[in-house]
Amino acid sequence: MTTSERTINFTRGVPADEAFPAPELADCVTAVLRERRVQVLQYGPSAGFLPLREWVAAHHGVAVDQVLLGNGSLPFIDLLGWALLERGDSVLVESPTYDRTLTLLRRHGARVAGVPITGEGLDLDALEAAVRRVRPRLLYTIPDFQNPSGATATLANRRRVAELAAEHGFWILEDAPYRPLRYRGAEVRSLHELIPARTLHMSSFTKQISPGVRVGYLIGDARLVARLAKAAEDTYITPNLLGEAAVYEFCHRGLLEPQLERLRTLYRPRLEAACAAMRRCLPDAAWIEPDGGFFLSLTLSAGVRAEDLRARAAAAKLNLTDGRGFFPEPADGDRFLRLPFCALTPEEIGDGVQRLAEVVATLARRG
């Protein structure tokens, strides 16, 4: 066991505290409150602060009426539950997937089925079989640096997903909050670029600027965006214009790209530390090596249950998340571990993986 007394948390996937551009945001809020006082402070459109919608539209090469802003991107899934899904509709998700999406889909009565994910994206044979079996209304997927696995879908994989959507007429909900945070390799075309007519592309400024501003966006078919905007109006009238205005001004001033470059410079060594520690401490582990984002994941050997491991890890001051919550069938996550690496220093990451390896070794010896 390392001698460090500090608890290490491989738990929530949050940005590093040191990454927040607070003085720049203060300047941006001040400017936009001076220059667009009423537009920021009065009730506004439920689709969000128009200058930011325009900025996002230009950034993604779509029309303004294809852009919906919201209080983060998670709430769009709730809005889809009202505007698109009927109770009992089938929805396909990756297995594992983002746990909060599972919760929201089930809240709306969706029948959720999981499709295994590999290091190259969705298991295509399993996807095709599931599509034929459940006739999904929607496929929810995180193609870039997936939460929780860290996997990125290859271009060939995405092309096949797009073909299936076209052939079988389901919607693709592409959740892409980590996409700008690539630390190595070349960007892969998004599903929205491959099949814009069937794809709802979600992202947010949570990982790029700050969670606290609560600004996410969705891009897609203008008619569906209008229906979502109506559901948004029914739910909260207007999203938080102060945060959207701050983000708009930040982007308008050209501060986003330098901010992303700072984040990549901050997070790249953390990813490298995580990968190096995995190779050094857990050379036999089954894990996915990510090219960006927040997460690395591993699957423990048969016979070692993550639940036992978590209890022992906690005793060694290492906090791990219950992996079962990420799986549509929780039992599939018995041996799954997600390691978020962005909010830890390289040293903490190395210590954490070493503690993990030591606990795994103890359990394996007893097993």
Question: Contact residues for a second copy (CB under 8 A)?
Answer: 12, 14-15, 17, 20, 22-23, 25-26, 29-30, 33-34, 37-38, 40-44, 71-72, 74-75, 78, 82, 100, 103-104, 107, 210-214, 234-243, 245-246
Cβ 9 to a second copy, closest distance in Å?
13
The minimum distance between CB 21 and a second copy, in angstroms, equals 9
Helices (H), 94-197: 99-107, 124-134, 155-168, 191-194
Least distance to a second copy from the beta carbon of 211, Å?
4
Q: Which is nearer to a second copy, 81 or 196 (CB)?
A: 81
For residues 147 and 321, give the distance between their C-alpha atoms in angstroms, rounded to a whole number. Answer: 13
Supply the minimum distance, in Å, between the C-beta of residue 332 and a second copy.
Answer: 22
Segments in 151-255 forming alpha helices (H): 155-168, 191-194, 222-236, 241-252
E strands present in 261-350: 286-288, 295-299, 318-320, 336-340
**Contact yes or no for 97/77 (Cβ under 8 A):** no
Please state whether the peptide bond connecting residue 177 to the residue before it is cis, i.e. omega within 30 degrees of 0.
no
Nearest to 361 by CA among 296, 313, 298, 295: 313
Integer Cα distance of 236 and 82 in angstroms: 14
Question: What is the DSSP secondary structure assignment for residue 182, as one 8-state letter?
Answer: B
State in angstroms the smallest separation of the CB of 49 from a second copy: 9
Nearer to a second copy by Cβ, of 75 and 352: the residue is: 75
Check: CB of residue 147 under 8 Å from CB of residue 114. Answer: no
Nearer to a second copy, 41 or 311 (CB): 41
Q: Which two tokens stand for residue 266?
A: 């901050």
CA distance 339 to 352: 9
306 burial via Cβ count (<10 Å: 0-12, 13-18, 19+):
buried
Task: Work out how close the CB of 346 gets to a second copy at its nearest, in angstroms, rounded to a whole number.
Answer: 20
The least distance separating a second copy from the CB of residue 241, rounded to whole angstroms, comes to 4
**DSSP H or E stretch at residue 217:** strand 216-219
As beta bridge partners, residue 337 has 298
Minimum distance of a second copy from residue 30's CB (angstroms): 4
Closest CB to a second copy among residues 43, 302: 43
Residue with Cβ nearer a second copy (213 or 298): 213
**Nearer to a second copy among residue 231 and residue 363 (C-beta):** 231
Cα–Cα distance, 322 to 340 (Å, whole number): 13
Residues 170/137, Cβ–Cβ less than 8 Å = yes
Q: How far is the CB of 35 from a second copy (least distance, A)?
A: 10
Which C-beta is closer to a second copy: that of 33 or that of 222?
33
Phi-psi region of 121 (alpha: psi -120 to 50; beta: other; left: phi over 0): left
Residue 151 CB, nearest approach to a second copy (Å): 23
Nearer to a second copy, 165 or 202 (CB): 202
Q: Whose Cβ is closer to a second copy: residue 74's or residue 306's?
A: 74
Nearest to a second copy of 95, 101 (CB atom): 101
